[in-house]
Amino acid sequence: MTTMHYRGLGMKILLIGEYSNVHATLAKGLRHLEHTVTVVSNGDFWKNYPRDIDVSRGKGKFCGCRLLLKIISILPKLRGYDIVQLINPMCFELEAKRIAPLYYYLRKHNGKIVLGAFGMDYYWVHENITRKPLRYSDFNIEDRLRDDSEATLYVNDWTGTDKETLNKLIAEDCDAIVAGLYEYWAIYHPVFPNKTTFIPFPIQQKQPCADESHLSPISLFIGINKQRNKYKGTDIMLEAAQAIAAKYPDKVKLIVAESLPFNEYVKTLRHADVLLDQLYSYTPAMNALEAMSWGIIVVGGGEPENYSILNENELRPIVNVEPSYASVYSQLEHLVLHPENLPALKRQSVEYISRHHDYVKVAQLYEKLYASLMVH
């Protein structure tokens, strides 16, 4: 694919909202391709990712009103773009019913609208509890619905509410939907087959910190967020890792990062050999992809569907686990007893990111999509 034709268009692109550095990184890639990009977000809360216009909610009694007034005041700056991409239907920290009129304004005063299928939304909840296209997810394991408190909270939050109404409105009205992971594509594509595209998440690769040695002990890293422990499966991951560390105290160093500030979390992670990621996923998401770019081995979602949608027939860097204690324990034990495999997995992790997630390559895929929308 040549990009000169698209680059000649010099598109003006507005990216609204942020999840785990997706839009900030995509903006860098698109700017590299000589497009004009504005990022409007809250920096993904405490993670504080870069943006051009800040729309953080703040604190206090009337913080929602203050934010709405701020957004209304900047609306003249959010018009005249060729492409507007929303990270999620809930792209501002406002009630869903307040976002709908803002969407209509963006629709009226800009070119094409793209909706990101990058995380929690109505279709992610609804399809997983009804159609169940995935063997396991945040909401189901095979035919059984998960009943942990956070899963129930999201079901109640996104179904039969203003959020459902908003999500349906935008998904039906927008010009394209981009899924960033296989799971989101499997949810959205059957519902919107003519407008759903899969484009991998963008990663700006830095110098890998992986060394070629595999000195004992192997350091296993797990991040714990107490509120989401059960929901993301880190409770089972932690239990298995603790059992392995107890069984092989000379071979394993377990690093448990609990509710660390983001910068500290990243600093601690960079010294690990292995990251224990999410248990109920088919694919690695942004945090795990970032770790892979540093040469850290990810234990988590590496299902065949993940490699298939990327057309990856050679590399298999992710240590795939089924959603069970036995699966996690078995895979961790295999890693610990075969440290000679670590250097190859680390190299493959770096290569995998370079092939499929390099931020400029990903930006070229977005560029192609955006240009096709502008033709119609």
The tens place of each residue's pLDDT in the chain, 376 residues long, gives: 333 345 556 999 999 999 999 999 999 999 999 999 999 999 999 889 999 999 999 998 899 999 999 999 999 999 999 999 999 999 999 999 999 999 999 999 999 999 999 999 999 999 999 999 999 999 999 999 999 899 999 999 999 999 999 999 999 999 999 999 999 999 999 999 999 999 999 999 987 764 555 667 999 999 987 777 788 999 999 999 999 999 999 999 999 998 777 888 889 999 899 999 999 999 999 999 999 999 999 999 999 999 999 999 999 999 999 999 999 999 999 999 999 999 999 999 999 999 999 999 999 999 999 999 998 7
Is residue 246 within 8 Å of residue 252, measured between CB atoms? no
SS (H, E, C) 57-74: CCCCCCHHHHHHHHHHHH
Q: How far apart are CA 187 and CA 114, in angstroms?
A: 17
The confidence score (pLDDT) of residue 2 equals 35
The confidence score (pLDDT) of residue 206 equals 81
Tokens standing for residue 98? 């307040």
The confidence score (pLDDT) of residue 259 equals 75
- Block residue for tokens 């990062």: 257
Q: How far apart are CA 297 and CA 317, in angstroms?
A: 7
Complete domains list, the chain, with CATH: 4-202+358-375 (3.40.50.2000), 218-356 (3.40.50.2000)
Which SS3 state, helix, strand or coil, does residue 322 take?
coil
Q: What contacts 361, CB < 8 A, 6 or more positions away?
A: none
Residue 288 sits at φ, ψ, to 5 deg, of -70, -40
Q: Rounded to 10 degrees, what is the CA torsion of 61, 44, 150, 141?
A: 160
Is residue 287 within 8 Å of residue 257, measured between CB atoms? no
The confidence score (pLDDT) of residue 214 equals 60
